[in-house]
């Protein structure tokens, strides 16, 4: 349903826009097919005559009137506080009008055009509409755009309260829209973290899996044995997993405020386990703390674990709890979240095992469809026209908790941008975009060791992942909208692995995973498997 104040944007135009966005993304178009109506900008408020001020996020439509890109070129005008009114009729206009000023009025009761027309007739040089709801593009039709010559923008109600508290009655405002950088430097950090996690996780998982099968040795405690356990994924498990993902995503979309805390608690627990799994191979080399605790009846301690395992467990839990308590400290909490997230991804890549390329293909193709559907198709099905995936990943703007899901790598924007002020200060990459291709990379590494191929499958698939991630970033920069990363990552990794198998004429073995399922005490194509696997523990 479209609110009355959004002008003449009807359901048909919204549906057409969504379809065009979907097709353009599939074709990797260089430009958007339909012009974006909503743009982020800044409103710089200051007290009269003061050089100091503060920027606030605004959402405007350049089809009404364009804003300058530099603050120095923007006119500083007096504001007129009319937030007790919605400015929908001439009776709402004060005596004398708004000569050379920018009124601030509340949203509601009439269209954007009616508000800005009354403001322009009465001498206003711009209009700020205060909204308690989501900031939507102040749209109109072509004739209305031609009639209006002053800028109109939406300002959040929360920012309006802060403005009233911070500045006096003679406050001034200058509206401007700095140019968005095509690519933010934080993408380099996300790229390095993602590719590094996939490479390290795939290498570690493959080496540990082969070593476990070939080298039977005594383990000094139960902790290491537990650390080496793996779970083979079956087609039924893949189907159940995808159904659970779809259900959870839809539930989060409708009941975000109720389920977000459960997700945060789950992440704290899972990331602590993952961090322990990643640090234990280093801690076990320390020659201290090998003594065991005295006999006791305490839970989880009756087997008398080593002192160093208890210290490591306490450390991992402390790191996870620290993030949980200070997760909303944007200046530094993202570093802890990324470290815990990488540890979690490495643990999952080491634990979950795809036994055949057939299983890899099934998982990646099904999740490819899942990702594309929830990013590009769901805007046609939701009332707001927003993507379910993007809304859940970034956190709904109308959420009362203002919590964000932690299942993403996040890096703050390093370039000056209005998005930093507009509740989008981070670039995000979901864990699924690391784990799903990473499982294929791990399979390739195991096959490399089995076939003694100098890790050609592993390297090719890892490079394919990096190329797919770069294509994702290019698509994001060109289309200026959230992208389903698996749309690019799945073809790049699957096709690369398939091409290597065809080139080496090993597709039947690669497809069925021969040697993984039946055991490794066989010779394949007259090749004897050598068991001197690298000790990566």
- Cβ(458)–Cβ(221) under 8 Å? no
Is-catalytic flag, 257? no
Q: Which of 55, 184, 209, 433 is catalytic?
A: 433
Nearest to 467 by CA among 451, 483, 453, 488: 488
Q: Please pick, among 221, 371, 398, 423, the residue that the annotation labels catalytic.
A: 371
* Residue that the structure tokens 């993202």 belong to: 334
The per-type count for the chain, helices as H runs and strands as E runs, is 17, 11
The residues, any chain, with a CB within 8 Å of residue 10's CB and separated by 6 or more, are 2
Local structure of 130: helix, strand or coil: strand
The closest of 502, 434, 411 to 198, measured between CA atoms, is 434
- How many Å apart are CA 190 and CA 185, to the nearest integer? 9
Active site residue 232: no
From residue 301, give the alpha-carbon distance in Å to each of 280, 281, 312, 314, 390. 18, 21, 14, 13, 43
For 193-257, the DSSP string reads: HHHHHHHHHHHHHHHHHHHHHH-----SSHHHHHHT--EE--HHHHHHHHHHHHHHHHHHHHSHH
Question: Is there a contact between 487 and 468 (Cβ–Cβ < 8 Å)?
Answer: no
Say what the alpha-carbon torsion angle 198, 204, 206, 208 is, to the nearest 10 degrees: -160
> Which residues lie across from 431 on neighbouring strands?
none
Cα 142 from Cα 260, distance rounded (Å):
42
- Active-site residue list: 371, 433
């Amino acid at each position: 349903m479209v609110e009355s104040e959004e002008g003449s944007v009807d359901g048909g135009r919204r549906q057409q826009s969504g379809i065009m966005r979907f097709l353009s993304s599939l074709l990797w178009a260089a430009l958007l097919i339909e012009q974006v109506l909503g743009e982020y900008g800044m409103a710089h408020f200051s007290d009269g005559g003061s050089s100091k001020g503060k920027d606030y996020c605004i959402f405007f439509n350049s089809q009404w009137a364009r804003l300058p890109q530099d603050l120095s070129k923007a006119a500083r005008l007096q504001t007129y506080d009319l937030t007790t009114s919605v400015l929908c009729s001439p009776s709402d206009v004060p005596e004398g009008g708004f000569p050379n000023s920018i009124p601030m009025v509340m949203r509601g009761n009439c269209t954007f055009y009616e508000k800005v027309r009354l403001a322009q007739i009465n001498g206003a040089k711009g209009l700020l509409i205060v909204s308690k709801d989501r900031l939507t593009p102040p749209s109109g039709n072509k004739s209305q755009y031609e009639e209006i010559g002053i800028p109109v923008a939406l300002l959040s109600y929360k920012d309006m309260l802060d403005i009233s508290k911070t500045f006096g009655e003679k406050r001034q405002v200058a509206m401007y829209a700095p140019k968005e950088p095509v690519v933010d430097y934080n993408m380099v950090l996300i790229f390095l973290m993602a590719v590094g996690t996939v490479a390290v996780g795939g290498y570690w998982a493959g080496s540990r899996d082969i070593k476990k099968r070939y080298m039977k040795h005594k383990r000094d405690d139960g902790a290491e044995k537990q650390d080496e356990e793996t779970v083979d994924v079956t087609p039924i498990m893949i189907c159940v997993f995808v159904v659970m993902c779809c259900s959870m995503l839809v539930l989060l979309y409708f009941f975000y405020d109720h389920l977000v805390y459960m997700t945060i608690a789950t992440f704290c627990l899972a990331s602590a386990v993952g961090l322990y799994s990643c640090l234990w191979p280093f801690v076990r080399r320390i020659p201290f703390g090998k003594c065991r605790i005295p006999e006791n009846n305490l839970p989880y301690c009756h087997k008398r674990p080593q002192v160093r395992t208890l210290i490591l467990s306490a450390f991992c839990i402390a790191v996870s709890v620290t993030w949980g308590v200070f997760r909303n400290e944007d200046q530094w909490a993202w570093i802890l979240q990324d470290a815990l997230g990488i540890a979690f991804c490495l643990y999952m890549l080491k634990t979950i095992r795809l036994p055949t390329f057939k299983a890899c293909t099934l998982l990646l193709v099904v999740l490819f469809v899942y990702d594309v559907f929830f990013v590009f198709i769901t805007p046609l099905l939701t009332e707001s026209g927003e993507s379910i995936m993007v809304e859940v990943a970034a956190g709904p703007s109308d959420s009362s908790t203002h919590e964000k899901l932690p299942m993403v790598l996040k890096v703050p924007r390093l370039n000056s941008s209005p998005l930093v002020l507009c509740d989008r200060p981070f670039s995000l990459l979901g864990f699924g975009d690391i784990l799903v291709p990473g499982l294929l990379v791990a399979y390739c590494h195991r096959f490399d060791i089995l076939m003694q191929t100098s890790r050609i499958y592993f390297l090719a698939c890892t490079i394919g992942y990096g190329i797919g991630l770069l294509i994702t970033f290019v698509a994001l920069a060109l289309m200026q909208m959230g992208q389903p990363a698996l749309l690019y990552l799945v073809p790049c990794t699957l096709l690369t692995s398939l091409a290597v198998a065809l080139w080496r004429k090993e597709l039947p073995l690669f497809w069925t995973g021969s040697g993984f399922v039946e055991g490794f005490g066989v010779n394949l194509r007259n090749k004897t498997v050598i068991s001197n696997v690298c000790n990566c523990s």
